[in-house]
C-alpha cells in the first residue's frame, strides 16, 4: 500500500485571520481520507465500506474508478488491514488539521471588494458583504438580487450586472455552492463576476455586456453553506426536515422536477447524501431557483447556464438522468465543452475531461442541468466539477483559489466568444 501525505500550503493573510470555531462543531481530528484504486474489486471495496461503516466523497465505488474514503481514527488500523495489497494514497493524513487550516479566514473590511478577497475562504456573511461592496463600485450597471428564500429564510443572493445598453438582454446564469461543502465554487463564481466587472471597460468585456445580462449566484444553498462553517464542514445537502425521518436535508441537485422519478440516479433514503426528496421540487431552494429560471427565460431568455461543483475537473453537458438520451444541441455542446477545457488547460495546464454527465461521472437524476436544458430551454447548459482530481478533494487549500479562478475565467471567456 502506498500512502503519501499531501500537505496543504499555508493560507495567505494569516496575520489578520480568525479560525471558525464552534463548541458544537463536528470534529474530524485524526480522520484520514484515502484514495483507493478500485479496479475490478468493487464488491470487496463496498463490503469494506459497509462493514466498517465508512463514508465516501464521490459516491459508491465503481469499477475502474478511484474511491475516496473517509476513515475515522478508530477504524484506520482495520481499514489498512482490509486493503492490504491494494493501491491507496492518503489524501489527508489528518482531515481535521486540513479543515482547520482551510477554515482560517482572512479578516474582511467592509468596502474593500478587491483582489485580496481571493487569498482565502470567507464566512457566509462576508460573502454577502463582498457582493454588496462589489455592487457599490458599479452602481449604475449592477444590482444585488435574490432568487428567493432558503428553508431557513436566507436570501439566495446574487449579483446582476449589465452593460451601457441597459438590462433585460439574454441572461448568463451561474450557480455555485449547490452542495454546501464545495467552497471553491463560491469563490470561483465571485472571481468570474469580479473580473467581468473590473474589466468592463475593455472592448471585449464591454462587447459581452452589450449582448448579455449576467446573474452570478455564488451560494444557492446558503443554509447548508452556513452549516459547513458552524457545525459540519463535510455537509452536502440543504437543511430541511424530512417527513417520517430524523435525518435532515435534500440534495438540491437531485430534486429538480424533471426526470426526478427515474431510478438509479439518486437515493430514496433521507439519510443519504444524494437523497432526492419526497417529491420533485419539494426543496425550497429548488422550488425558488426553478421558478426564477423559468421567469427569467420568459422575460428575457437564458443564453447560458452553468452549475459549478467540485471536485474532479470535468466540464459536462446534459444529460445526467440517462446515458443514452442525447441533447438536441449535443454536437455543439460537446464542441464548446472541449474548447472551454482547452482554454482552461492553457492557463495552468489543468486538464478537464468533457462529455455528458451520465457517461462522464455518473447517473444523476433531478439535476439542474437537465431541467434547465429541457424545461427552461436555455440555449447552452453545462455543469463543471472544478479542482482537483483527488489530492485534496473538498478541502482545497486557499492558495488554489486564484489559479482555479484564472483558468475557469478563461473557459468562460471561450464560451462567451464562441456561443452563437
Distance CA 389, CA 313 (A): 6
Distance (Å) of CA 42 to CA 63, 65, 95, 190, 280? 6, 9, 25, 39, 31
Burial label for 323, CB within 10 Å (0-12, 13-18, 19+), is middle
CA dihedral 395, 396, 401, 407 (to 10 degrees): -130
Q: Do the beta carbons of residue 314 and residue 352 sit within 8 Å?
A: yes
Which of 102, 273, 385, 407 is an active site residue? 385
Q: Do the beta carbons of residue 121 and residue 35 sit within 8 Å?
A: no
CB atoms closer than 10 angstroms to residue 125: 11
Which CB contacts under 8 angstroms, 24+ apart, belong to 49-56?
A: 51/82, 52/78, 52/79, 52/82, 54/79, 55/273
Cis omega (within 30 of 0) on the bond before 388?
yes
385 is annotated as an active-site residue: yes
Q: What is the CA radius of gyration of the chain?
A: 21
Q: Do the beta carbons of residue 237 and residue 180 sit within 8 Å?
A: yes
Cell of 71: 476513515
* 171-175 and 302-310 strand pairing: parallel
Please identify every residue annotated as catalytic: 385
Amino acid at each position: 500500500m502506498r500512502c503519501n501525505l499531501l500537505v496543504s500550503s499555508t493560507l495567505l493573510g494569516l496575520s489578520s485571520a480568525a479560525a471558525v470555531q464552534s463548541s458544537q462543531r463536528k470534529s474530524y481530528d485524526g480522520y484520514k481520507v484515502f484514495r483507493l484504486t478500485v479496479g475490478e474489486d468493487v464488491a470487496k471495496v463496498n463490503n469494506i465500506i459497509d462493514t466498517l461503516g465508512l463514508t465516501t466523497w464521490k459516491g459508491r465505488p465503481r469499477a475502474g474508478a478511484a474511491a475516496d474514503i473517509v476513515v475515522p481514527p478508530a477504524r484506520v488500523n482495520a481499514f489498512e488491514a482490509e486493503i492490504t495489497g491494494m493501491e491507496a494514497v492518503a489524501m489527508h493524513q489528518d482531515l481535521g488539521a486540513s479543515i482547520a487550516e482551510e477554515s482560517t479566514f482572512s479578516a474582511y473590511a467592509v468596502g474593500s471588494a478587491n483582489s485580496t478577497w481571493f487569498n482565502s475562504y470567507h464566512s457566509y456573511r462576508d460573502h454577502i458583504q463582498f457582493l454588496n461592496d462589489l455592487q457599490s463600485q458599479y452602481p449604475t450597471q449592477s444590482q444585488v438580487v435574490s432568487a428567493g428564500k432558503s428553508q431557513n429564510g436566507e436570501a439566495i443572493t446574487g449579483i446582476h450586472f449589465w452593460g451601457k445598453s441597459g438590462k433585460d438582454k439574454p441572461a448568463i446564469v451561474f450557480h455555485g455552492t449547490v452542495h454546501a461543502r464545495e467552497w471553491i465554487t463560491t469563490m470561483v463564481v465571485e472571481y468570474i463576476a469580479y473580473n467581468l466587472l473590473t474589466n468592463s471597460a475593455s472592448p471585449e468585456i464591454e462587447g459581452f455586456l452589450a449582448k448579455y445580462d449576467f446573474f452570478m449566484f455564488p451560494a444557492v444553498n446558503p443554509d447548508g453553506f452556513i452549516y459547513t462553517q458552524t457545525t459540519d464542514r463535510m455537509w452536502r445537502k440543504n437543511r430541511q426536515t424530512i417527513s417520517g425521518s430524523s435525518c435532515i436535508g435534500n440534495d438540491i441537485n437531485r430534486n429538480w422536477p424533471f426526470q426526478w422519478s427515474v431510478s438509479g440516479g439518486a437515493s430514496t433514503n433521507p439519510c443519504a447524501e444524494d437523497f432526492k426528496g419526497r417529491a420533485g421540487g419539494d426543496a425550497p431552494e429548488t422550488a425558488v431557483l426553478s421558478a426564477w429560471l423559468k421567469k427569467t427565460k420568459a422575460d428575457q431568455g437564458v443564453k447560458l447556464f452553468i452549475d459549478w461543483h467540485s471536485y474532479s475537473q470535468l466540464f459536462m453537458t446534459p444529460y445526467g438522468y440517462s446515458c443514452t438520451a442525447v441533447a438536441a444541441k449535443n454536437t455543439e455542446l460537446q464542441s464548446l465543452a472541449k474548447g472551454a477545457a482547452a482554454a482552461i488547460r492553457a492557463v495552468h495546464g489543468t486538464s478537464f475531461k468533457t462529455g455528458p454527465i451520465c457517461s462522464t461521472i455518473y447517473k444523476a437524476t433531478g439535476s439542474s442541468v437537465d431541467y434547465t436544458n429541457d424545461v427552461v430551454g436555455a440555449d447552452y447548459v453545462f455543469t463543471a466539477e472544478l479542482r482537483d482530481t483527488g489530492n485534496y478533494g473538498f478541502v482545497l487549500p486557499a492558495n488554489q483559489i486564484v489559479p482555479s479562478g484564472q483558468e475557469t475565467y478563461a473557459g468562460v471567456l471561450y464560451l462567451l466568444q464562441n456561443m452563437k
